[in-house]
Structures are given as C-alpha cells and as structure tokens.
Structure 1
C-alpha cells in the first residue's frame, strides 16, 4: 500500500524532477560537457539542480567552465524546469494523441493552476506557444540591442534563462556591464516579470488583449476580463516591484555611493534589482557590496517570490496577499479576509499559514546547519557579516532566485547539499511535499480535549 502512496499523482513531479536532475548531473560531469577540467559529481549535481529548479546559483562559472554541449544541457534543464517536467511529459503524450491519464491531468492541473478541472490539452498548447513566442521575442531583442555581447546562442540562453526565472548567464559579471543600458534592462525585466506571473495569468492576459483588439473591429464584441486571481497577482506583483525599488534606492543611494551612475541609471538599477530579486538571479549591481538594509529588503522579496503556476519559487504573491488580508481582518476585528470583491475562504487561509510556517521553519533550520558547516560559529566580531550572507544564500535558494553575495563557490560539500535540497523543495513547493506526506498519514478517528491558552 505504501508504494502506491509513494507514486501517487501528486508525487510524480518529485520523481520526474529528481530523475531529470540526476540525468543532467551525469551529463555535466562528463568531459564532453566541460571546457577544460571536468567538474566533480557534487558540483555537477549542484548545477543540474540549480538549472532544473530555475535558481541560478552556481559554484562554477557557467560560461567558462562548461563547453557548448554542457551549456545546452543546462539550457535544456532550465526550459524543462521552467515549464515543469510533468507538464512537458504530459504534453508529449497529448501531441502524440496518446491517452492522458487522470493522474497526469490532476498532477499538472494542481501544479499549474491548483485546479484539476481545466481543459488540459488546450491549456498546455497555449502555454507552450506563449512561452516560445515570449522567449523568441526576448532573444531577438537582446541580439539586436547588443550583437557582440549577445550572439545568437547567448541571446537565446539569456532569454530562456530570464523568462524561466533561472538567472543563469554566460557572462562573467552577470549583467553588471549593462547597468546603464536601458534596452537590455527593460527586455530582461519584461522576460522576468512575464515568467513570474504564472502561465494561467499570461494566457488570461493574452485573451484579454485579443478581445480588446477584436473590439476595435467589432464594437459589439464581448470583452474578456481578468479573473479575481489574475487581478490579485498583477496588483501584488506591481506593488512589490515598486515598493522594493523605493526601499533599495534608499538603502543604496542615500549615502552617496555609486558616483559613476547618474539619476536615470540609479532608478533603472534599483528597479531591475527589485524585479530580479523576487524571481530571477540576474543583477546589474554587485550584490556582495550592497548595504545591509538593501540585503534585508531583498531577503524579504526573495522569500515572497513569484506567483502560483509560474517559474518562480518562494511562498508566492497570493500567499503574501492572503496573509496581509488575514492580518488586517484580525486587526480590525473582522471575521473575513477580503481581497477586492471577494473574501478568502478558510481553507486558503489555512494553507497560506501552513505554507509560510513550514517555509520559515525550513529556511531557519537550513541557516542553522549552514552556520555550522560554513564557519559562522566564530565570534561575531570575527565572523563579520557571515550570518547575513548565509541567510541571504538560504533564502535565495529556497525562493529559487539565484542571487548571492559571493559565497556560493566557497560552500563546503555539506553546505552545497543543504542548498541543493533547498532549491529542490523551493521549486516544487512545500505544499506539494506536505500533501505527499499527508497521504501517508492515517486519518485520526478521535479528538483531543481542547483548552484555552494564554497568548500575548
């Protein structure tokens, strides 16, 4: 009976992701994948996990260490991880006109929309078409903006990496050389935001835009309006981007730093960093030299992450919005948590609280382990900012962001394994693992006596 629960529909993405990561690691540690000296299996496993989980943390320089074949393997893992390996495998069966099982339907539905009742085939085809279109436009734009820095392969690699919110790059300084280039910044930000909104929201946006274009030709045509979920996702995403940019601006530029950047470049830099620190791992500012206040703000944004059904990790924007509505309702003595025109149901509130508590506990436990493995047990005056660097690294891994203050290549073998586990759990989502664990539990047929507890 236990093996049936182990291979239940909700557990299939875990097995497929793990299988793809092991296959990718096996390919990346081969001599054909490396430009010079082959990497160790542990480094290959770390890189494959980071790519499949669309994180972007790297223990080696991707552009210098791996050959073109190795970079293609990483690119394939990024694309598979961004779309979802369960989604890709189900799409193949659908296009081959093979029968798609109910288990696949449920697993893909819950991983993309948390709704098992949608039309699977139509949604998958639309998702792939929209993804291919956005990535192609992004690659073409990058190639036209800088044909030298972004050759054809490099442009495709960075476009796919940005849309899938992976943050892998082939340039040695990430995108710091483009800090004052508005074209490259805007294209990469558009790709990151598109990938972080969620495929369901993207398709709704496409349908809304198409209906408005049709309205121009046919004034009596019916307009398609965004759903409550889509409007919430877009509103929260824009609010977090703007609020994050303002706070990072105060943290970085009030002290007279970066004298070589003019006012417009500073605004562009903080806007880019606010966009990328919630979902992707690109940076135009040196993360290791940013102020502590900016790093704390970025940690909060990374922990929130992107939106459900997207390429991003974190607890998700909708979870953050539900918790904010729940806190506001309790603060004013109201029973319902209201967002827009609707109140959030109790099950969604319970899931949001459970997810946040589990995620915070996982990150804190990982930070504690990393403090032991990465030398943060020294006296505070000697360790300096090591603790903040470790917290930043752990949250970046859990949120599948990929930003780092520079300690990733210096991680011990145990530290690499901890970060690998965080990336894996962060990409698939704590809720998925909790649901699988709940499947092994037998329902209790009794209730404990209840009693009040003094709180506060």
Structure 2
C-alpha cells in the first residue's frame, strides 16, 4: 500500500490529537500535577487528558480535589488546544514551517475551519487566535466581576476558556450548581458556550455584517449572509428555545412543591438547554432530573453544535439537512429544500452517512457498556442503568461531558470504551471514514443494479 495514502491531510488530526492526549496523560501522572495525598492511575490520567483534549468534560476523579493548580494549568492547556479545532494543529505546523501547502491540504484545512476552500491561512490563524484570546479574557473579567470571591483571576480564566471551548471542566466539585441563581455568571457562561458552538466562520461573518449595518438593517443583512451561516444561526436559536421549553416542562411537575426559588426555573432550563448540546456545565444535579428531561437532553447532545466550532455531535447543519430530507419525502418531493435552495446530492449523502455511522457508534458503545457495566445482572436489579449508559455514551460521543452519575463508577473496560468514544466524537466519524476511503484504491468498475423490495 502506498505510504502517501496512509499519511494524508486527513490523518494528521488523528496523529496530533493522539500525541497531545498521551503527552497530557504523562504530565498529569507527575506528582506536581496532583494534589497532596492524591494518587491517579495512568488510565484515569489518560481519561482526563482525552476528555480535556476532546473538550468533553467527563471526569472519573474530582478535578477540584485530585489535581493541583499545576494540574489545572495542564488541563486548561489541553482543552484550549483541543478547542481550537480539528485541523488547527496541521494549519499551525504548515504555517510555522513555511512549507508550501498543497491544494489538497489547503482544501482540507479550509473546509474544516472556514467552510471555504479559498482563504489566507496565516491571516485566518492570527484572526482566530486573536479573537479567541479577546473573548476568553473578556469572559474571565466578567466572571470575576460577578463573583469575585469564588472566581479569582485563575479560576475565572479557567472557566472562561472551558466555556468558550465547550469543555465543561470546572475547578468546583459541584460544577456550577452553587451559581444556579447567579444571573451574571449564568449569562456569561451561556454566552461563551454559544459563541464557541457557532463556529469561527459564522462568528466572523456576523461581526463583519454587524459592522457594515445599522440597527434597522440587521434583519435585512442577516438574509444577505451565506446559507451556511443562516442555517447555523436559525437551527441553534430554535434548538436553544425548544430545548429550554421542553426541559422546563419536563422538570416542572417534579419540583412543583419545592420551597423557595424553583431549581427548574426558566434560567436553569435555558442554561441546561445551551450547555447540554456541547458544553457539559450543569447548574443542577443531572442524576436528580426526570427521565423525560434526560431523553430530551440525549437528543440535544446527539445533535451538538456547528461545523468548524469547538462543539461535537452530528452538528446543526446535518440535523437541518436531515430534517429537510424527511420533509421532502413526506411531501413526495425529489429535492430537500432549505430556504431558497435545495440541498445538493453530495451534502445529503454525507448527512445520511454521518447519521448512519453515528447510530452505529452509539449503538455499539451502548451495547459494550451494557455488557461491561451490568455484568450479566438481570433486568429487575438494574432499573434505570440502561438510560444512564445511553446518556453517558451520547454525552461522550457528542463531547458534551454531562453524566447521570455513571462516569466515576465505570469499569476499566468501560473507561476505555468512553475514551475511544470521546476521541471519535471530537474528530468526527466522517474524518475516520475519509481516511479509510483515502487509503483504499477506487474501483474502476461498477456492479449491475437490481431493484429491492423496501418496507
């Protein structure tokens, strides 16, 4: 097999992410990164490094008490690197080495970062890094302003980067439950999550459009944006609104008689609607939520954020294409229409392929965890565990980081399964499929076709 087929632009992110994870695990094993008296196994360090680099947020040990300030710095560095994007490592190396980027490399980098094959690599990297720095420092300053006692300068910066990178890591043992009623902290974290989940290309286009438009022209300017940006903004908006409404309804009956301020108020529902699609922060105990709410959250986690962002999942654009395809088939149309245009065949095939692979991965991982975590126990003794496992699997695949309490109780094999899930979920099944397709020789023949009875 030709080595050039194995070493391709599509395989570079896999190699860089794997190397970063292994380096992070080695650093977290160092006594300087661990709190006095704490002891972390290599598997737990590898789990934490994978979760941080893949901006997931699932933890098998308490980040606040097990790791020292040095360990927190290492974890923060890992999710900052992981949050910059799938192809950013490759782009930085191309740019710093000043090598001539081939057309294939440039197209691969462009489609991952900008949704546009034609762009200036160096200029984009500088803008992206500068924008990231400004947003994260601004978020840290606001968190410190709204809660100066809990958010000292380092803690504020840690949570700001974690929120913008959609990582969900926290230096508080209860995550953000203690800030459930703090409007300022909630708004800052939610804003950072949304910005990180939209994608750099969408954010830059919104900024350019806003700078050229007055307040009255904003609505008209929105319709003048690219179709990709319009779809991302619209789908993200409706997922947030519908998700908040469903979570509010799902929790309202459970705590209708709770004294004092309701934990399931609209702010809490809105926060979890935004966070559960990608970020993994929580202001309520996830294990204490209703099964209805958990099922809603599984759906939101599976969809995830937008292409070219720090988020995971099958992505908002994929969801919109699949929705348009379903509507078209229901109405008997040949084309799936979004707005003023129909979706091209290649995009539709990619969306269907991604959905198929996502279902296969989630289903296979769920089956594997059912085998490793239930240990052959009868159904009557494991009530509710299947939902916990499904929630864990989708959370890992969507790089969300929320858990119903299963993570810390995973077996050794179960932890390994979740590590692999986070890795695949961050890079995306399509990337692995692209690598396999690039390695294979394309056949120069076609098979005869035959009709099949369906349904």
Q: How does 1:17-96 map to 2 (within 5 A)?
A: 17-36=17-36, 37-84=38-85, 86-88=87-89, 90-91=91-92, 94=95
Deviations 1:26-75 (A, max 9, x none): 10011111013231111111000000000000001111111111111110
2:13 aligned with 1:13:
yes
| Structure 1 pair 392–376 and aligned structure 2 pair: CA distance change class (3 A) | farther
Mapped contact 1:212–1:223 kept (Cα < 8 A): no
- In structure 1, the residue matched to 2:99 is 99
- In structure 1, the residue matched to 2:446 is 447
Q: How does 1:115-126 map to 2 (within 5 A)?
A: 115-126=116-127
Secondary structure of 1:140 counterpart: helix
State the alpha-carbon separation in 2 of the partners of residues 289 and 398 from structure 1. Answer: 22
Mapped contact 1:63–1:171 kept (Cα < 8 A): yes
Mapped contact 1:29–1:41 kept (Cα < 8 A): yes
- In structure 1, the residue matched to 2:422 is 423
State the alpha-carbon separation in 2 of the partners of residues 296 and 254 from structure 1. Answer: 16
Q: CA RMSD in A?
A: 2.0
Secondary structure of 2:167 counterpart: coil
Mapped contact 1:177–1:284 kept (Cα < 8 A): yes
Shift of 1:101: 2.2
Q: How does 1:141-220 map to 2 (within 5 A)?
A: 141-212=142-213
- In structure 1, the residue matched to 2:385 is 386
Shift of 1:447: 2.3
Shift of 1:92: 6.2
State the alpha-carbon separation in 1 of the partners of residues 290 and 215 from structure 2. Answer: 49
Shift of 1:215: 10
State the alpha-carbon separation in 2 of the partners of residues 358 and 97 from structure 1. Answer: 36
State the alpha-carbon separation in 1 of the partners of residues 288 and 22 from structure 2. Answer: 35
State the alpha-carbon separation in 2 of the partners of residues 111 and 19 from structure 1. Answer: 20
State the alpha-carbon separation in 1 of the partners of residues 260 and 113 from structure 2. Answer: 41
Mapped contact 1:247–1:294 kept (Cα < 8 A): yes
Secondary structure of 1:400 counterpart: coil
2:411 aligned with 1:412:
yes
Mapped contact 1:162–1:188 kept (Cα < 8 A): yes
Secondary structure of 1:246 counterpart: helix
- In structure 2, the residue matched to 1:229 is 228
Shift of 1:131: 1.1
- In structure 2, the residue matched to 1:281 is 280
Shift of 1:137: 1.0
| Structure 1 pair 269–87 and aligned structure 2 pair: CA distance change class (3 A) | same
State the alpha-carbon separation in 2 of the partners of residues 295 and 31 from structure 1. Answer: 38
| Structure 1 pair 252–377 and aligned structure 2 pair: CA distance change class (3 A) | farther
Mapped contact 2:250–2:290 kept (Cα < 8 A): yes
State the alpha-carbon separation in 2 of the partners of residues 445 and 223 from structure 1. Answer: 45
Shift of 1:264: 9.3
Comparing 253-262 with 36-45, greater Cα deviation is found at 253-262
**Aligned positions, number:** 450
- In structure 2, the residue matched to 1:338 is 337
State the alpha-carbon separation in 1 of the partners of residues 212 and 134 from structure 2. Answer: 19
State the alpha-carbon separation in 2 of the partners of residues 42 and 197 from structure 1. Answer: 33
State the alpha-carbon separation in 2 of the partners of residues 131 and 108 from structure 1. Answer: 18
Comparing 169-178 with 259-268, greater Cα deviation is found at 259-268
TM-score by length of 1: 0.94
Deviations 1:281-338 (A, max 9, x none): 1001110111000000000000000000000000000000000000101111111111
Shift of 1:78: 0.5
| Structure 1 pair 59–264 and aligned structure 2 pair: CA distance change class (3 A) | closer
- In structure 2, the residue matched to 1:219 is none
Shift of 1:88: 4.5
2:129 aligned with 1:131:
no
Mapped contact 1:314–1:399 kept (Cα < 8 A): yes
| Structure 1 pair 432–263 and aligned structure 2 pair: CA distance change class (3 A) | same
Shift of 1:178: 1.0
2:323 aligned with 1:324:
yes
State the alpha-carbon separation in 2 of the partners of residues 420 and 351 from structure 1. Answer: 25
State the alpha-carbon separation in 1 of the partners of residues 105 and 68 from structure 2. Answer: 35
| Structure 1 pair 125–181 and aligned structure 2 pair: CA distance change class (3 A) | same
